[in-house]
Amino acid sequence: MTTKPAFSVLLMPLFFAVGCNESEVMSLPGDPAKGKMAIAAYGCGSCHAIPGILGANGRTGPPLERIAERTYLAGVLPNTPEQMMRWIRIPEAIDPLTAMPNMDVSVNDARDITAYLYTLK
């Protein structure tokens, strides 16, 4: 009978970790609706195919379909909201070989764009 509580104790860090993860997501309360507008304004769709964005059917860069479920971003970053925001804002600093330009995306816009991209599952 003692194994069960021990097991629970062992699992505790996992719960904390999940909690942390959630709080990280909560610290990025981007607005997907605003993100949609920002994507259209910055012209992401000129190079990427992005579901749900009118005219976003670019072929220059990779399609962003189901981007929320990808393991890596741009082949170089773990796929987390923070990393996605970083990539959107300063792609050339993360991967000096990338063709994706720095589009001078503001923090708020990057947060909203990330929120929208995470709806693509």
User: Can you tell me the distance from the alpha carbon of 45 to that of 77, in angstroms, rounded to the nearest whole number?
Assistant: 21
Which whole-number Å values give the CA distances from 6 to 17, 18, 19, 20, in the listed order?
18, 19, 20, 22
Beta bridge partners, 78, equal 72
Binding status of residue 93 toward another protein by CB under 8 A? no
62 binds another protein (CB under 8 A): no
Task: By CB under 8 A, tell whether 63 contacts another protein.
Answer: no
Q: Does 46 bind another protein (CB under 8 A)?
A: yes
Pick the binder of another protein from 2, 3, 23, 60 (CB under 8 A). Answer: 60
Contact residues for another protein, defined by CB under 8 A = 41-47, 57-60, 92, 97-104
